[in-house]
Amino acid sequence: MKKLFLQIAALLCCLTMLFGCGQTVDTPSDVTDAPASTTVNAGPFTPTYDETLTFKNPAKSSETSKLFYNNDSFNDGPLAGDPFLFYHEETKTFYLYGTTRKYSNPGTIEETFEYYTSTDLINWKNGGVCFKPSRGDWCTSRLWAPEVFEIDGKYYMYYTAATGDGGVLHCSVAVADSPAGPFTNKINDKVDGKKPVFDFGSNFPTIDGSLFIDDDGSMYYYFARDQIGDNSSSGGNNTTRRSTIWGIALENPYTIKEGAKPVKLTEVGRSTIDETGTFTQKWEVQDANAMWNEGPYMLKHNGVYYLTYSANYFGSKYYSIGYAISTDPLSGFTKLPNGEAQIMGISPDSEDNWNYFIGTGHAMFLSIGEEEYIVYHTLMPNTDVWRHFTIDSIGYRADGTLYVNGPTVTAQKVPDVVSGLTNVAEKATVTSDNMKEDTLGYLTDGITGAGKAYSAAEAKTNGGMASVTFTFDTPVDLSAIVVYNSADYDQIFTSVARIEIDGLYAIDDVKVLSDSYAKRTKQVYSGSAAILELSHETKVQTITIIFNNSDTVGISEVQIIGRG
């Protein structure tokens, strides 16, 4: 009877077949021991066959449903350099800001900030201008890098600008009663927009200002002291050729703390500000004429401060993201050694081409519900010169190091607060057949594959027929299954041989997204996966994923999307 059910289910399944393309990226190699897999006790459950249940296995990311977003820079995704994403919890709306200067007429630039809105990270609407300088304001040129924070019911926008085309770049802050603006420089009688809030002199141009509020409510402002020298866009007369990250304590969102002075926190190519000799952070100095640390954003995790930043020229393929750590918000920052400080971008020691995304930089980070994400801009090689908004999930390893599941160009799970669903895979007992048992914990460690160095943190088959089974103590309402590929092209799978659900449904040949790996160049993109989506939620207790590859394959992660 079971065999008959499987045959009937297979005939009823609506499968869209696919093949795909991809690539690797050099990332931290400190992934060794697999986390222990979760163990629970399965209870009694009688599965019910549903003859109306069908399945979708999308061929490309563009064919996926509302459960998945896609960083679709090839088409018409939001164009925003230096992007900043604000999530308004009450209205469940995302507000995207960025450097959105437009040419209104030939040779004339319209100096404003626009914003986009979305409720699902899939569909975006241009909301129009949210900040335009008023008559008499100091900021008449080069409006860059806006960031918006909500404080006591007000919305504060931190930004970079200059007075006139040849003016010195400085940072300031505007305020509004809504995330949609309109923002104004006039905060009170003393902060009226006639001069920048953060002005440290004509020989101290600053860009990319960012606010950080500590657990005790203390406020800090981080920014880049812009490289100036012969860089006419920055003004000034200092011959320094390296931009660096600085910080200062604030009294409130628009006032520097009395007696506080700017403190330098990073040095380009160096692991600490006091380091000398040969560059220890080679990934930061791949553009000889653009030795920059810029775009700072501060995170805090388990009492440790993570100062994230970008290095190299923003318009080059080498633009990258890294971080330094400290136990103090204004001192003692150290970058991880041997290039491990770089969490995204082209490494000088890497063989990866990264020809699907380049120029990954100017990042900010945010919590969306219980999940953590990175937002940054990218360039498409040989495609255009516009910078595109991109978002991917992040996490922290057990040793505290930061990882990024990206850059992705293929379908990825939307945040839980958007879909109302979550990844329940870690709630299951995980068992296997013909797989390396000591690697099973990697199936639910949160790392979905972001480069060849991550291939050590994957579950591995022994070659031939192999399977992994997820069994839940309490049945879950299942909506989709995502099986993430290996980060190593030599160990990828192009399809899952079969997925069995409660012994009632057998879905054969579940193919990997065709836009997530490339046979010709032997590359696999970060986030490469096979996706199986159900036509409607159904209660399940056991899911078995079967591989049939003659050689060893790696599975970086399994997401079971549903309600548990």
DSSP character string of 204-240: --EEEEEEEE-TTS-EEEEEEE---TT-TTT-S----
Distance CA 183, CA 177 (A): 8
Mean pLDDT of 289-313: 94
245-246-247 Cα angle (round to 5): 135
Average pLDDT of the segment spanning 496-516: 96
Cα–Cα–Cα angle for 398, 403, 404, rounded to 5 degrees: 150
pLDDT digits (tens, 9 = 90+) for 153-183: 999 999 999 998 778 999 999 999 999 999 9
Q: Which class would CATH give 82-260? A: mainly beta
Q: Between 60 and 32, name the one with better pLDDT.
A: 60
Q: Which pLDDT tens digit goes with each residue over 247-288?
A: 999 999 999 999 999 999 999 999 999 999 999 999 999 877
Cα–Cα nearest to 558, from 496, 473, 477: 496
The pLDDT score that the predictor gives to residue 7 is 43
For residue 300, the one-letter residue type is: K
Round to whole Å and give the CA distance between 285 and 167: 27
Q: Are 161 and 143 in contact (CB under 8 A)?
A: yes
Domain boundaries, the chain: 2-66+420-563, 82-260, 265-407
SS3 for 424-460, per residue? CHHHCEEEEECECHHHHHHHHCCCCCCCHHHHHHCEE
Q: Does residue 282 or residue 350 have the better pLDDT?
A: 282
pLDDT of residue 404: 94
- Cα–Cα distance for residue pair 323/506, rounded to 1 Å: 45
Give the distance between the most distant pair of CA atoms in the chain: 84
Calculate the dihedral angle through the C-alpha atoms of 273, 376, 359, 272, rounding to the nearest 10 degrees.
Answer: 10
**Can you tell me the mean pLDDT for 192-211?**
94
Q: Is the peptide bond before 146 cis (omega within 30 degrees of 0)?
A: no
- In terms of Cα–Cα distance, which of 406, 403, 454, 413 is closest to 34? 454
- What distance in Å separates the CA atoms of residue 374 and residue 404, rounded to the nearest whole number? 8
CATH number at 265-407: 2.115.10.20
Q: Enter the tokens of residue 278.
A: 């040969």
pLDDT at 351: 56
Q: What is the DSSP string of 296-357?
A: EEEEEETTEEEEEEEES-TTSTT-EEEEEEESBTTB--EEPTTTTTEEES--TT------S-
Please report the pLDDT score of residue 352 as a whole number: 58
Please report, rounded to a whole number, the percentage of residues in the chain having pLDDT higher than 70: 85
Q: Fold match between 2-66+420-563 and 265-407?
A: no
Query: Checking phi first, is residue 121 left (phi over 0); if not, alpha (psi -120 to 50) or beta?
Result: left
Angstrom distances, CA of residue 547 to CA of 330, 375, 450, 492 = 51, 34, 22, 11
- State pLDDT tens for residues 107-137: 677 889 999 999 999 999 999 999 999 999 9
Query: Which residue pairs from 110-118 have beta carbons closer than 8 angstroms and sit at least 24 positions apart in sequence?
Result: 111/139, 111/140, 111/141, 111/142, 111/143, 111/161, 112/143, 113/143, 113/146, 113/157, 113/159, 113/183, 115/179, 115/180, 115/181, 116/78, 116/80, 116/389, 117/93, 117/180, 118/93, 118/94
Looking at residue 91, what DSSP letter applies?
Answer: T
* Of 304, 368, 314, nearest in space to 345 by CA: 314
pLDDT confidence of residue 458 = 95
In this prediction, residues 222-249 reach a mean pLDDT of: 69
Q: Which residues contact 33 (CB under 8 A, 6 or more apart)?
A: 438
Number of H helices, E strands in the chain: 2, 37
Q: Which range scores top for mean pLDDT: 107-111, 128-132, 237-241, 385-389?
A: 128-132
Contacts (Cβ under 8 Å, ≥6 apart) of 559: 413, 423, 425, 448, 480, 481, 482, 484
- Fold annotation for 2-66+420-563: Jelly Rolls (2.60.120)
Tokens of 256: 């520097």
Q: How far is CA 442 from the centre of its chain?
A: 20
**In this structure, what DSSP letter does residue 188 have?**
S
pLDDT mean over 488-500: 96
- Sorting pLDDT into bands at 50, 70 and 90, what band is 80? confident
What's 537-552 look like in SS3? EEEEEEEEEEEEECCC
Please tell me the predicted confidence (pLDDT) of residue 226.
86
Q: What is the mean pLDDT of residues 420-425?
A: 97
Task: State the Cα angle at 447 between 445 and 449, rounded to 5°.
Answer: 140
Rounded to whole angstroms, what are the CA distances from 307 to 97, 156, 266, 313, 334? 21, 21, 9, 19, 9
The region that residue 503 occupies, defined by phi over 0 for left and psi between -120 and 50 for alpha, beta otherwise, is: left
pLDDT of residue 241: 62
443: β partners: none
